[in-house]
């Protein structure tokens, strides 16, 4: 597979897309940050609830270990709907623009999360309770499927070329803020409420409270201008993308070589490295941010506050990690930074997992924080920009969203369930976790040998980078 990027000619007479004002860029950054923060808050709220209380609230009657596996399986259900949402809303976003779609996705996603907080439990309505939980998880996933990909595409297309990495890292910080906010809320609830209060009504507070962020995010997006790259792309006419036949006819008439080449490209060549980049980061995220709370609480038999506290502290550390890695991606390129961070992660898996499994709180904190920041947050900082840069302008939103969500459905949806079952089968060994982390971490490293450097591409180019 070729590793050379397409030539820079884009069939346009302008050197760069029309610049937006500082206020426009700030609103785009705030919109992406808020939407991504809400998405990850929604999913982290559920993942922590799955590890701490949902087994008793929605899967009562099963053994404690089996209840955790069932709760994680329901967590995975949300990822089934995400690729469908990514495909549907991604195609819509490529046709009518980014802002209209991002307005819809955040409303669906946030509304479903709020309603989870109003659900009756299995003690109230029996089997209907987990059924309703699954339905809301499907709605949540359908909206979330095109949320973070759309936010990443929007920021990439708004940001100045040489500062895309540092600006797009705000999306990754949104994931961090969402995780931190959800973990902090759960940490407070676990600390101040008795177990009876938490199970009776306390667990509803974070879900219902997320409506405040939802309303603010919707207001910001209502005032957001369309992406300048979308507006100036050669396949867009008066804010609506042309059909394939119309694009071909126009390209032939105007002798638009880049567009004609884009129409003939083999799309799978870009999908493969993009899938591997996302698969590795998502898999590590599923294990470290979802399953590890249960591992610490159930398998290591430590206080529930330890699991939530370590996620909070690690998320705080990521406020330094994420922008640094984003800036280094601007300086040295996305490909080089993926290689560096993947190798470091592979080297650290065994010592960090030994530190966590030692069940001594200081070592556990150090091991988790190091692994989480290197193998999850650093890769997220690169991923949110690299994926949009790999794809051409015509199908960037849909391609980014679909590849992200299919990879996440497989890695993040199934990964925690497999690890939970494997650890249970090995009577609490940390070795299955280390093996799974190794498998996921090597994937981005492989991807770097299947792709060119994409930093600095003209995002109006309709061709994929591969």
CA 12 to chain centre: 33
The Cα 265–Cα 4 span in angstroms is 14
The Cα 201–Cα 196 span in angstroms is 9
Question: How is the chain split among helix, strand and coil, in percent rounded to 5?
Answer: 80, 0, 20
Token output for 448: 């770097």
Token output for 147: 């949320």
The Cα 213–Cα 182 span in angstroms is 12
Domain range holding 375?
22-237+259-447
Is 458 within the bounds of a domain?
A: no
Cβ neighbours, 10 Å, residue 461: 27
Is 10 within the bounds of a domain?
A: no
Q: How far is CA 132 from CA 81, 139, 460, in A?
A: 15, 11, 43
Q: What pLDDT is recorded for position 326?
A: 92
Is 380 within the bounds of a domain?
A: yes
Is 12 within the bounds of a domain?
A: no
Is 250 within the bounds of a domain?
A: no
With beta carbons less than 8 A apart as the criterion, state whether 129 and 121 touch.
yes
From first to last of the 466 residues of the chain, give the pLDDT tens digit: 444 444 444 333 344 555 666 777 888 888 888 888 888 787 778 777 776 777 677 766 555 665 566 666 666 677 778 889 999 999 999 998 888 898 888 888 888 888 988 888 777 787 787 788 888 888 888 888 888 888 888 888 888 888 888 888 877 788 778 877 887 888 788 888 887 788 778 878 888 888 888 888 888 888 888 888 888 888 888 778 888 888 899 888 889 898 999 899 888 899 999 999 999 999 998 899 878 888 888 888 888 778 878 888 888 898 999 999 999 999 999 999 999 999 999 999 999 999 998 878 899 999 999 999 999 999 999 998 899 999 998 999 999 999 998 898 888 778 888 888 898 888 888 999 999 999 999 999 999 999 999 998 889 899 999 9
Is 17 within the bounds of a domain?
A: no
Greatest alpha-carbon pair distance for the chain in Å reads 72
Give the count of domains, the chain: 1
Indicate the burial class of 102 (C-beta count within 10 angstroms; 0-12, 13-18, 19 or more): buried
Is 264 within the bounds of a domain?
A: yes
Is 102 within the bounds of a domain?
A: yes
Token output for 243: 């059909």
Token output for 21: 């004002």
Let me know how long the chain is.
466
The three-point CA angle 458-460-462 to 5° equals 110
With beta carbons less than 8 A apart as the criterion, state whether 71 and 131 touch.
no
The Cα 297–Cα 304 span in angstroms is 5
Q: Name the pTM for this structure.
A: 0.82
- The single residue listed with the structure tokens 């050379």 is 4
CATH number, domain at 95? 1.20.1250.20
Indicate the burial class of 447 (C-beta count within 10 angstroms; 0-12, 13-18, 19 or more): buried
């Amino acid at each position: 597979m070729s590793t050379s990027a397409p030539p820079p000619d884009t069939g346009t007479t302008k050197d760069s897309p029309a610049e937006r004002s500082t206020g426009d860029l700030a609103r785009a950054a705030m919109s992406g940050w808020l939407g991504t923060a809400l998405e990850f808050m929604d999913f982290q709220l559920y993942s922590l609830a799955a590890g701490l209380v949902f087994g008793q609230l929605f899967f009562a009657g099963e053994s404690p270990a089996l209840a955790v596996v069932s709760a994680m399986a329901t967590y995975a259900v949300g990822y089934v709907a995400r690729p469908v949402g990514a495909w549907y809303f991604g195609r819509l976003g490529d046709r009518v623009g980014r802002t209209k779609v991002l307005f819809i996705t955040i409303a669906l996603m946030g509304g479903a999360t709020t309603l989870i907080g109003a659900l009756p439990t299995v003690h109230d309505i029996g089997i209907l309770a987990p059924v309703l939980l699954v339905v809301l998880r499907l709605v949540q996933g359908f909206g979330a499927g095109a949320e973070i990909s759309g936010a990443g595409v929007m920021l990439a297309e708004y940001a100045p070329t040489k500062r895309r990495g540092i600006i797009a890292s705000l999306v990754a910080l949104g994931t961090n803020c969402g995780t931190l906010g959800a973990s902090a809320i759960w940490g407070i609830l676990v600390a101040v409420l008795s177990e009876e209060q938490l199970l009776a009504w306390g667990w509803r507070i974070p879900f219902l409270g997320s409506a405040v962020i939802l309303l603010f995010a919707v207001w910001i997006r209502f005032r957001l201008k369309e992406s300048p790259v979308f507006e100036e792309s050669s396949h867009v006419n008066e804010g609506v993308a042309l059909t394939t036949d119309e694009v071909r006819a126009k390209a032939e008439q105007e002798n638009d070589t880049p567009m004609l080449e884009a129409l003939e490209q083999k799309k799978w060549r870009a999908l493969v490295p993009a899938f591997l980049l996302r698969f590795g980061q998502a898999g590590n995220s599923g294990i470290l941010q979802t399953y590890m709370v249960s591992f610490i609480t159930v398998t290591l038999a430590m206080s529930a506050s330890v699991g939530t506290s370590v996620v909070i502290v690690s998320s705080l550390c990521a406020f330094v990690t994420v922008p640094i890695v984003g800036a280094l991606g601007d300086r040295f390129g996305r490909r080089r930074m993926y290689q560096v961070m993947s190798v470091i992660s592979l080297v650290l898996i065994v010592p960090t997992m030994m530190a966590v499994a030692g069940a001594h709180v200081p070592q556990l904190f150090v091991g988790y924080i190091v692994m989480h920041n290197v193998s999850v947050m650093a890769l997220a900082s690169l991923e949110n920009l690299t994926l949009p840069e790999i794809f051409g302008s015509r199908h960037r939103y849909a391609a980014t969203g679909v590849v992200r969500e299919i990879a996440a459905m497989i890695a993040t949806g199934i990964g925690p369930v497999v690890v939970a079952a494997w650890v249970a089968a090995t009577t609490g060994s940390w070795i299955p976790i280390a093996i799974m982390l190794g498998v996921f971490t090597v994937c981005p490293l492989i991807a770097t040998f299947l792709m060119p450097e994409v930093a600095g591409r003209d995002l109006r180019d309709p061709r994929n980078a591969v």
